Amino acid sequence: MKKVFYFLRLSLTLMLVCGIAAGTLAATYSVTQPIVEKREKEELVKKYEDLLKLFQTEGAELVENLEALEKGREVIEGLEAVFNVNKGDERLGVAIMTGANGYGGPVKATIAIDDDGVIVGVNVLDISGETKGVGSKVVEEPGFIEQFIGKTVNDPIQINTDIDAISGATISSRAVIQDVSDAAKVYREFAGDVE
Amino acid sequence: MKRSIWRDFTIGIIEENPLFTLVIGLCSALAVSSKVENAIFMGVAASFVMVASNILVSVIRKMVPNQIRIPIFIVVIASFVTIVDLTMKAFFLAGYEALGVWIPLIVVNCMILGRAEAFAYKHGVIRSIADGLGKGLGYTLVIFIMAIIRELGGTGQIVAFENTIISLRGFQPPQILQSFPGAFFTFGILMGLLQKLQRKGE
């Protein structure tokens, strides 16, 4: 009986220590998380502003296209947002944010497509799951992203036939290529010219 | 004879330097010493965790049952590391991104568990603080010196906190100093030099 109490005491002590630790961490998290979220949101807004510049016009704005997002989600799992890029009453194109799986999680990218179906820009947003110095080259080597610019949504974008992958970073390259072809699919089927 | 508190502090810098003499906590030291800026961030983060865990372990040492002391130390250290990790992510993003996985890995840095087990568990709070500060300073100094050699030698310049501090002109830097073999060379040569100096003193 004595032994049972002894082990019980050890377990309870350990449980108490873990409980206190968990409480402390929860408190720290609740302080730091709002700051992190606020900054991430600001960064995202800035990324979209960079994207608007690709349409080479002043005063354009992003309007969420929820219908295309909802329909697109049924076929593309990683689809996160579909925006119409409007200037006044005129639509210039769309910006599509999607994330196909890379080496260690989704590789998020925003793809800007003008109303003629031409890809005008690709912004890779999140490569936190990719290996630093290897997979991260998809953003560090400008030549890789440039391969997409000017292609239309109907052009084939196959890895190593149409788009050269970064050697050593095939998986991360493939994820970006998947992002672009997903965006092209969304454009063709749901978000293309509405008229 | 009882060691003075000052001695507890200074012994960590050379005679019981965690890296050169005790040879613990090496992996992070080799990894982050390629840039001076990273070395400073890592030194401060690891020293903070070491001092904080030394204090807490020393405070609770009489309440901790001997059989479960190691899991309790680990929980204490892991909590402080997570606090550092979250705080850096919120307030020092540059440092957080540069150090990456090496911050959470402070948890398994045997230097910190080693000090909890070998010192803080057996000594009072004040002496444990002195020990943590001394070992932390010893660790920071070594990675700082290694980073100066590796960054200046490997890239030809030292860039810290967005300022170029030194730049060597007309010097073709040997890139090997930036890579892991370069870390081993630098570490080995420095360690050998220190040993030689200490022998001479005897």
Reading the block at residue A164, the tokens are 């050269």
Q: At what angle do helices B180-201 and B125-155 cross, to 10 degrees?
A: 120
Q: Cβ contact (<8 Å) for A32 and B90?
A: yes
* Nearest neighbour of B79 by CB, restricted to A10, A21, A132: A21
Reading the block at residue A111, the tokens are 């793809």
CB pairs under 8 A between A and B: 46
Max Cα-Cα span within chain B: 62
Prediction pTM value:
0.71
Amino acid letter, residue B162: E
Tell me which range, A156-160, B11-15, B136-140, is most confidently predicted by mean pLDDT. Answer: B136-140
| Domains of chain A, residue spans | 1-53, 58-191
Element (H, E) at A116: none
Taking a C-beta distance cutoff of 8 angstroms, is the pair A126, A138 a contact? no
pLDDT at B99 over 90: no
Those residues whose C-beta lies under 8 Å from the C-beta of residue B27, and which sit 6 or more positions away, are B105
Those residues of chain B whose CB sits closer than 8 Å to some CB in chain A are: 63-65, 67-68, 71-72, 75-76, 78-79, 82-83, 86-87, 89-91, 93, 100
A118: DSSP letter? B
The residue of chain A with its CA nearest to that of B60 is A17
Reading the block at residue B45, the tokens are 């983060």
Q: Report ipTM for this prediction.
A: 0.76
Taking a C-beta distance cutoff of 8 angstroms, is the pair B96, A38 a contact? no
Q: How confident is the model at residue A32 (pLDDT cuts 50, 70, 90)?
A: very high
* Chain B residues lying within 8 Å of A25, measured CB to CB: 79, 82-83, 86
- CA–CA distance, A111 with A129 (Å, rounded to integer): 20
Q: What is the mean pLDDT of residues B87-109?
A: 88
Residue A90's SS3 state is strand
Q: Cβ contact (<8 Å) for A39 and B91?
A: no
Quote the pLDDT of residue A97: 87
Q: Cβ contact (<8 Å) for A9 and B65?
A: yes
Q: How confident is the model at residue A50 (pLDDT cuts 50, 70, 90)?
A: confident
Q: How confident is the model at residue A195 (pLDDT cuts 50, 70, 90)?
A: very low
